[in-house]
Amino acid sequence: MKYDFDEIIDRTCTSSLKWGKYENTDIIPMWVADMDFKAPPAILDTLQQSIEHGILGYTVIPDKLNKIVAAKLDTFHGWEIEEEWILWVPGVVCALNIACATFGDPHDKIVTTTPVYPPFLTAPANCGKLLATVPMIDINQRTTLDFDALEKEFKENTGLFMFCSPYNPCGTVFTKKELNRIVELCAAYDVVICSDEIHSDFVLDEDKHHIPTASVSQTAARQTITLMAPSKTYNIPGLGCSFAVIPDEGLRNKFKSRLHGLIPDVNLLGLFAAKAAYKECDEWLSQLITYLKKNRDIVQYRVNKMPGCKLNPIESTYLAWIDIKGTGLKDPVRFFEQAGVGLSDGSFFGQKGFIRLNFGCPRSVLEEGLKRMEMALKNHFSP
């Protein structure tokens, strides 16, 4: 491999959200979705050039950036878009909140599925709207949408469906059939779809592909706003650079007018990093995916051998959604912290009895984390 994903980079004392939580402890942070790999050299080079230039002024969208994004979406996902459909925003979460505030009547509710990335659960209340949640269902060890339950909700005053594809935290890569079905349902009840596709570059199975929701049909394009970013993929989440793709002019204008005066433009470093990411980092990304696949296989094998733990096959993302109900642990996060591993608590995602483990880290760190979990569970079951 040309890039060294095994390299251990000390992130203590760097004001890192992930590492700061456990500063001065022997707990390995494996929680928030932030990887422990250095960003690709092409991104670091462009950032260095901006810093050396020395003036960090107000910035417009760099020349050809939208063209580069459009080409990337076409090459990677077979999605042909127009450059003017792209709107840059400083975060997917911010765009998600803007979508909640913009679409549907004030008394309409917003629907999402659980478990889900926590900001989905708080965004509706931020703009004074009601949230309805529909649990995901497991079919043959694969977590997917419960279309009948969703239809019931859509029937009753729903303005927006917040969808996550691929799915954080369960790792599902949705099929064209599933996407068509959700689009048809939303169209039937006039529900706008906000499709958060920030994890779209992390498909880990050879036989699966990410399909943008908006790309499945003309109806889908009219009904959907898609949120994407280079942040997860190239490990630059701290740069605050994301974008929405909105083919429908009406939806796009509504969304755009909500941004004015409230949401700042994306900063210079984020925009230049995005340009380098989409133009020059394909090889880095392909090697990252190879590395993450191996990490995924290790997690899949070892977690399923841990007493009381179950893990469905992870199709995508670098996150493992582990069912720990069989352990009988009352406070699993505290239990694993005491064993030296910092994980995310399922209840924040709307599903108790689960923990989420981030395996986007050097293999030796992952193996140490898994070893600590195995030891702790062994002692728990046979003290």
Ligand X SMILES: Cc1ncc(COP(=O)(O)O)c(C=O)c1O
Nearer of residues 237 and 346 to ligand X, judged by Cβ = 237
Residue 359's identity, in one-letter code, is: F
- How crowded is the C-beta side of 168, counted as CA atoms within 13 Å? 26
162 binding ligand X? (CB under 6 A): no
Q: Which of 363, 303, 305 is nearest to 336 (CA)?
A: 303
Q: Does 168 bind ligand X (CB under 6 A)?
A: yes
The span from the CA of 281 to the CA of 194, in Å, is 27
Q: Which two tokens stand for residue 174?
A: 């949705």
Measured from the CB atom, is 33 or 173 closer to ligand X? 33
Sole binder of ligand X in the list 29, 40, 91, 171 (CB under 6 A): 91
Interaction of residue 143 with ligand X, rule CB under 6 A:
no
CA neighbor of 99 nearest in space, from 60, 141, 78, 129 = 129
Q: Pick one of 61, 73, 81, 92: the residue that binds ligand X (CB under 6 A).
A: 92
In whole angstroms, give the CA distance from residue 144 to residue 123.
22
**How many residues sit in the footprint of ligand X (CB under 6 A)?**
13
**Residue 196 engages ligand X in binding (rule: CB under 6 A):** yes
Q: How far apart are CA 365 and CA 356, in angstroms?
A: 16
Cβ distance to ligand X smaller for residue 33 or 376:
33
Closest residue to bound ligand X by CB: 91
Element (H, E) at 188: helix 176-188
* 33 lies in the site for ligand X, by CB under 6 A: yes
Nearer to ligand X, 192 or 198 (CB): 198
| DSSP β-ladder status, 137-139 and 86-89 | unpaired
Helix axes 268-280, 65-77, angle to 10 degrees: 40
Contacting residue, 46, 133, 223, 242, with ligand X by CB under 6 A:
242
Site string for ligand X, 97-136 (x = CB under 6 A): --------------------x-------------------
Angle between helices 176-188 and 147-155 (to 10 degrees): 20
Question: Closest CB to ligand X among 196 and 201?
Answer: 196
Nearer to ligand X, 46 or 195 (CB): 195
Using CB under 6 A as the binding rule, whether residue 93 contacts ligand X is answered as yes
Nearer to ligand X, 173 or 198 (CB): 198
The yes or no reply on residue 215 touching ligand X (CB under 6 A) is: no
The reply on whether position 163 binds ligand X by CB under 6 A is no
Segment (H or E) for 89? strand 86-89
Hunting for tokens 């008394």 — which residue is that? 107
Q: What are the counts of helices (DSSP H) followed by strands (DSSP E) for the chain?
A: 13, 14
Does position 198 interact with ligand X (CB under 6 A)? The reply is yes
The binder of ligand X chosen from 68, 229, 246, 273 (CB under 6 A)? 229
Distance CA 263, CA 216 (A): 30
Binding region for ligand X (CB under 6 A):
33, 91-93, 117, 164, 168, 196, 198, 229, 231, 237, 242
